[in-house]
């Protein structure tokens, strides 16, 4: 009988890449998510019945236990970028991570992979980074042999980083950013998935791995790369942190006053705190090299999905060829 893995957040951005790779490995895959009817796209990752999205409430012991029971391995890649309603940073990234690890241990799961983030620090002034750090500590306390992955900002077809800023280039000559000098080490989603699979298969030693791509660049530099791909000229304008805090406060208040009906998807005060710190692999940290993985460069992937933000979209190459014909 094929082995079974439960992936919490398996329909999310990184989780779907992990689910696809585990299906290719021949495993049965339980995709634990809040809304399984919106995750039906994972079913074709394998043969009929191999990959199944199932409802789960990460805040409830019984719900989590029911999807862990019988699994040979568990992967947790649930995370939030904004505290909203009951899904707060504490509930999801600290308490939720502890619950999954504790129940995985109780159910005698063989391997546990926990996807965290570079910058996770239980002493951070950022709620996001603090709860990521608290979650890691709770996971290791309950499941000492866990493999913890800390990716930098993740890019790929469904990302909310390059896609977000590329979409903004359609609306004016200025592209505002916060923390233009802050450095990032973007990592391809499928490379993170490959690392997670190695953890599931027992091909990675227990411990923490920081995952960054082959290139380190500033926020401003990354926007320049994106603008080159989408073939647009925009002025990248850095917003001072004091101004960004005011803007974040305003959007946070709108979310609070509307009781979450209007979600802050623009900028939060907590995100401003994170943007003050570089998001790169620490010196001496274990990473892709220790997993035998060669990370993918941005230029190999960005054009595959950012082309739709070009002025001519899918016809950009044809338009460029036409210009050459005119010159001839």
pLDDT of 249-293, one tens digit each?
999 999 999 988 899 999 999 999 999 999 999 999 999 999 999
Average predicted confidence (pLDDT) for the chain: 95
Which residue bears the tokens 């399984």?
A: 36
- Do 188 and 43 form a contact (C-beta atoms < 8 A)? no
Q: For position 72, which CATH number holds?
A: 3.40.50.720
- Do 287 and 209 form a contact (C-beta atoms < 8 A)? yes
Instruction: Confirm whether 262 is domain-assigned.
Output: no
Per-residue pLDDT, 267: 93
Instruction: Confirm whether 319 is domain-assigned.
Output: no
Three-class SS state of 74: strand
Instruction: Confirm whether 95 is domain-assigned.
Output: yes
Identify the residue with better confidence: 156 or 315: 156
Which residue bears the tokens 């983030």?
A: 117
How far is the C-alpha of 278 from the C-alpha of 156, rounded, in Å?
A: 21
Instruction: Confirm whether 165 is domain-assigned.
Output: no
Residue ranges of the alpha helices (H) in the chain?
A: 13-24, 61-68, 89, 96-106, 127-142, 162-168, 189-200, 219-230, 241-257, 269-274, 288-291, 302-306, 316-327
pLDDT digits (tens, 9 = 90+) for 73-129: 999 999 999 988 889 999 999 999 999 999 999 999 999 999 999 999 999 999 999
- Domain of 117 in residue numbering reads as 4-158+185-215+279-295
Domain count, the chain: 1
Instruction: Confirm whether 324 is domain-assigned.
Output: no
- Do 44 and 22 form a contact (C-beta atoms < 8 A)? no
Residues sharing a CB contact under 8 Å with residue 133, sequence separation 6 or more, in sequence order: 120, 121, 122, 123, 124
Instruction: Confirm whether 148 is domain-assigned.
Output: yes
Instruction: Confirm whether 133 is domain-assigned.
Output: yes
Instruction: Confirm whether 189 is domain-assigned.
Output: yes
């Amino acid at each position: 009988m094929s082995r079974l893995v439960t992936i919490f957040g398996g329909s999310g951005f990184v989780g779907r890449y992990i689910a696809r790779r585990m299906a290719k490995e021949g495993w049965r895959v339980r995709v634990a998510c809040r809304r399984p009817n919106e995750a039906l796209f994972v079913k074709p990752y394998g043969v009929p019945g191999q990959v199944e999205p199932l409802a789960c409430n990460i805040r409830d012991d019984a719900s989590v236990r029911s999807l862990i029971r019988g699994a040979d391995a568990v992967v947790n890649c649930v995370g939030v970028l904004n505290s909203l309603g009951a899904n707060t940073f504490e509930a999801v990234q600290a308490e939720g991570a502890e619950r999954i690890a504790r129940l995985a241990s109780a159910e005698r799961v063989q391997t546990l992979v926990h996807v965290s983030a570079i910058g996770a620090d239980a002493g951070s002034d950022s709620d996001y980074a603090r709860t990521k750090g608290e979650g890691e500590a709770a996971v290791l306390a309950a499941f000492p042999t866990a493999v913890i992955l800390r990716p930098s900002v993740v890019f790929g077809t469904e990302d909310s980083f390059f896609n977000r800023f590329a979409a903004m280039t359609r609306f004016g000559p200025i592209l505002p950013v916060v923390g233009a000098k802050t450095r990032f080490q973007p990592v391809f989603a499928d490379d993170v998935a490959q690392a997670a699979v190695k953890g599931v298969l027992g091909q990675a030693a227990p411990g923490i791995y920081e995952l960054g791509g082959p290139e380190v660049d500033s926020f401003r530099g990354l926007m320049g790369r994106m603008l080159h791909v989408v073939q647009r000229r925009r002025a990248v304008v850095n917003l001072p942190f004091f101004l960004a805090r005011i803007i974040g406060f305003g959007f946070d208040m709108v979310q609070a006053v509307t009781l979450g009906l209007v979600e802050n998807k623009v900028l939060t005060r907590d995100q401003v705190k994170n943007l003050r710190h570089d998001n790169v692999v620490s010196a001496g940290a274990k990473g892709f090299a220790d997993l035998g993985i060669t990370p993918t460069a941005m230029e190999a992937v960005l054009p595959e999905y950012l082309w739709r933000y070009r002025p001519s979209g899918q016809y950009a190459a044809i338009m460029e060829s036409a210009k050459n014909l005119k010159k001839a």
